[in-house]
Structure 1
Amino acid sequence: MDAIKITETLQDVILRAYGDRVGTFKLQSVDEATSKARQKARSQLTKDQRLVIDRALVSFRDWLIKRDPEAAERVAKGVPAPQDIETAVRAAEDYAVANMAPDVTTEEKALLTCRLENGRVETIEERNATKRRPLKLSNRHVRTMVGGILVIFLGSGLAGIATEAATIVTVVGAAIFVFGFRRWRSGDVTSNIPQVSVFRGGKISDEGKEQF
C-alpha cells in the first residue's frame, strides 16, 4: 500500500466517524494494553513500510489542518498546530500500523484502530461557547466580585492592624514580666520605706523618716 492510498484511507475513517464535524478531537488516552499492541505491530514493519506511513501522515496532518479554519489560521501565522491534531495523527499512525502489520491479533488490531474511530469532535461553535466571558467592569457581576475582593482586603487589613497591636502589647507585657522575674530571682528588693541604719540608733517615725 502506497502513501497516497494510506492517506485516503485515513481520511475516509475521519469522514465516516465524524462526518462534517470540524473542531477539537477528543480521543481516548493510550493505556498499557494499547501501548503493548503498538510496540508489537511496529516491530513487524520494515524500514520502507515505516517511511511510507510517515509520508502518508504528513499529507493526512495537512488535510486535518485545512479542515479546521482556526487551526489553518494558526499554522499560517507560524504557530504550531493544536495539540489535538497531533494526537489525531498519532492515532492515525496506530490505525495504519495495525492494518499493515502482518501478525497482530484481532484484539490488538481493535485496540490500535478504535482510538481514531471512536473519539469525539468538539465543533468550533461548541469550543467557542465554552470560553469564558472577558472580565469587564461594565458587567455587574464583575463589579460584585470586585466589591467582594475589596471587602476581603479591607477586613484583612483591619485584622492585620489589630493583630499587630495585640502583638506589641504582648511583647511589652512579656518584657515587663521578664524584668520583674529577673529582679525577683536576684533578690534585689525595693521598698517605699527609707533604709534605716540600726548601728546609728535610728528610729522610724510614723511618716517613715529616720529619727535620731
Structure 2
Amino acid sequence: MRDQVLTWLEDNVPTTRMQHILRVEQMSVELARHYHLNLEQAAQAGLMHDLAKYFKPERLLLMAREGGIDIDPICAATPHLLHADVSAIVAKEYFGVQEDAVLEAIALHTLGNPRMSDISCVVFLADSLEPGRGHTPELENLRKIARVDLHKAVWLTSEYCVKHLLNTSRLIHPRMILTRNWAVQRFSQKPQLTQ
C-alpha cells in the first residue's frame, strides 16, 4: 500500500510537502519504536497525515460535511484546519484503511484531542517537530522531551503552536487548548522521579 500512497502523493502534493510527509513518517516510526508502540500504524498514519493538505477550501468543507464532521465556526472560517479530518476520510475511502488507531492519528495530527491514543500523540508530535521544521533551541528541546515523556511533549508542543498562532494573529481552535490541558493533566498525574 505504501507505494500506492506515495504515487498518489506525488500527484497531489508539492515536492517540499512530500519531503515533510516522509520526515513525519520516519519520526512517527522512531517515536513509536521508542515507546514500544505499533510501528506499522505509526508509519501508515505518518505517511497519510497530509493527504488532503492541498485540497481547496470548498472541497475540504464538502468532504467534511459529507463525512459527518462537525464544522464549527473556526473551521468554517479556516477550512484548512479540516485537512486532518479529511485526510482520514481519504485514507479510508481511497486506500481502504480500516484501523481506528491509524484513522484517529491522521484525523488528530493538527489539533489533537483529549484522551487521544499514544499513536495519535506520536503523529501529532512528529508533524510539529520533524527536523524540517527548523533547529531553534525551543524545537530541539521539544524533540528531546518527545523522547522522554509523550504527554509532556504534547503539552509543551501545543503551547508552542498556540504561541505561534498568537504571534501571527491567527485564530486558535479550542481543541488545541483542550489538548494542551488534557496533556498537562496526564503528565501531572504520573509519578515524578525524584533526583
Q: Structure 2 length normalisation: TM-score?
A: 0.28
- Structure showing greater relative contact order (alpha-carbon pairs closer than 8 Å, 6 or more residues apart): 1
Which structure is larger by alpha-carbon Rg, 1 or 2? 1
More strand by share: 1
